[in-house]
Amino acid sequence: MPQQPMVLRVHFYHATGQQTQSLASAAHHIAYMGSVEKHELLVDAEDRTTLASAAIHARYAGERDGSLGYFGTVDAATAASHIQQARGTVWRVILSVGEADALAMGGGLTTKAGWSAAAQKAVPTMIRRLGLDLGHVEWIAAVHRHQKHEHNPHIHLLFWESGTPTRKTMKWSAQELRDVRRAWAKELYAPELAVLGEDKTTARQTAVEMVNHLLDQAQGTARGSSWEQGFLQELLVRLGQLGTQLPGHGRLAYAYMPPATKQAVQEVARWMITQDATLQAAFHRYVAQAVQFGMVHWASPGTTDWGGRDHAIKRAATEQTIRERAERDLLQRLAAPILRAAYQTAHSGAPDAASSKPQHTTYGPTASVGALVRDLQWALKKAAWEGRQAAYQQAEAAWKRQAVERQIARNMGLDIQL
C-alpha cells in the first residue's frame, strides 16, 4: 500500500483567459518546467493572462534544477509555438508519488525513463477517457526528481488538441477524474499492483479450494465415513438446513437466490471461516490485499493536510468501504460450492441437528484411496500457498526495513544511494 497517496492536480488554459489562465500561461509553463531560474516565478499575474506568457511552463518543466528532461510528442520550442496557436483548452497535469513508494517499487519512478514508460501508456488512456482523438492531441512532459521543499518525484504534463477542438468543456467530470487517476495509478504502481494482484488471486483460490475440500469431507461423512470431527457433522447439518431454503426451481446461482437465502448462504460461509484456520487465513489475506490494492487508487477529496486528522479519518473510512466490498466479493465466490453442497445434502437424506449418534459405515477400498489422494493433493496445495505467503511476508518486511533505513539516513543528513 502506498505510504503517500498519488497526488493529481489539473489546471486549465484557454485562449479567452476567462475563468481560467490563458494560453499564454500554458506556453510560459513550458519554460517554467525546464528553467533553472524558474521563469514563471518572475512573471506577474497580469502578464500570465496573455498568450505570450503561456509557453513558459513547458520550458520550465524540462530545464529547471532537478528536471530530468523533456519527453512527449513534440519538443519544447514546437510545444510553445503550437500552444499559443491552440483554439481550445490546454490542460496542465501535475502528478506526484511518494519518494518512499517510488524507491520501494525499485526506483523506476526516480528516473526519466520510468516516468516516460508509464506516460506512454497512461497518456493515451487519459486522452481517450476525456473523449479526445488521440491522433489530434499533442503533449509534452518533464519529470522533477528533487526540489528544496519536497523529494517526491512528479511529472508536469501539458496537452492540447491541434486544429479545431472537439471538446467544449475545460473541466473534467468526477468520473473522468477517477478514470484518469486509475489510468495513471495502473502504470505508475504496476510493480506493486502485480505483487498485490498475484497474492490476492492466490488467497482467493486458496479460500475457494479450502471450502470445496471441507464440503467434500462433510459430504463424504454423509455417505458413510466416520463422524470423528464435530465440525464436519455441524457443517453437514447446516448444509441440510440451507438446502431446505432453496427454491424448488430455477438456476442454482447465488445471484438468483431470494435475500433470505443469500443471507443464509453467507452465514454458512462465515461460520466455516471461523472454524478452519487455513480458510480464515486465506480469507483475511484476500481482504487485506484487496484493501492495499484499492488504496493505490485512493485520493482524499477536499483534504490537503496529508497525514493530518482529517486525512486519517477519510483514509480509514475508505479502507473500511474497500474491506466490506472485498468481503462481499469473496463470500459470493464461496457461495457457489456451498449452494451445490446444500442442494446435494438436502436430496441425500442428511441427518438433522437432532441426530445424537452418527451412522458408521466404512468406505470400500476404491473410495478410501480416492479420499486419500484428494487429501494429499490438498496438503500439497496448502504447503505451496503457505510457502508463497512466507516469501511475500519476508519481502514486505525487507521493504519496510529499507524505508526506515532511508528515513534514518535522511534525518542524519547522509547521502542516499538511489
- What DSSP assignment string belongs to 314-334? HHHHHHHHHHHHHHHHHHHHH
Q: Quick one: pLDDT at residue 418?
A: 39
Which whole number is the average pLDDT over 156-180?
91
Cβ-Cβ contacts under 8 Å for 355 (sequence gap 6 or more):
233, 237
Check if the beta carbon of residue 27 is closer than 8 Å to that of residue 54: yes
What is the widest separation between alpha-carbon atoms in the chain?
92
Q: Rounded distance, CA 126 to CA 15, Å? A: 23
pTM for the predicted model, two decimal places: 0.67
Percent of the chain scoring above 70 in pLDDT: 63
Is residue 61 over pLDDT 90? no
Q: Rounded distance, CA 304 to CA 252, Å? A: 49
94 vs 406, more confident: 94
Q: Rounded distance, CA 32 to CA 285, Å? A: 46
Is residue 66 over pLDDT 50? no
126 vs 21, more confident: 126
What are 205's three cell numbers?
483460490
18 vs 303, more confident: 18
Is residue 386 over pLDDT 70? no
**Domain coordinates in residue numbering, the chain:** 7-188, 193-362
Estimate to the nearest angstrom the gap between the alpha carbon of 351 and the chain centroid: 45
Q: Quick one: pLDDT at residue 395?
A: 63
The mean predicted confidence, pLDDT, of the chain is 76
What CATH class does 7-188 carry? Answer: alpha beta
pLDDT-based confidence at residue 262 (cuts at 50, 70, 90): very high
Lowest pLDDT segment from 157-171, 201-215, 335-349, 373-387: 373-387
DSSP assignment of 362-376: PPPHHHHHHHHHHHH
Q: Rounded distance, CA 2 to CA 162, Å? A: 36
CA neighbor of 268 nearest in space, from 297, 244, 301: 244
Q: Quick one: pLDDT at residue 381?
A: 64
Interval 19-54: pLDDT, tens: 456 676 677 667 666 554 443 322 233 333 333 444
Is residue 143 over pLDDT 60? yes
Lowest pLDDT segment from 45-54, 124-133, 242-251, 310-319: 45-54
**Residue 143 pairs with which residues in a beta bridge?**
155
Interval 301-312: pLDDT, tens: 544 445 567 767
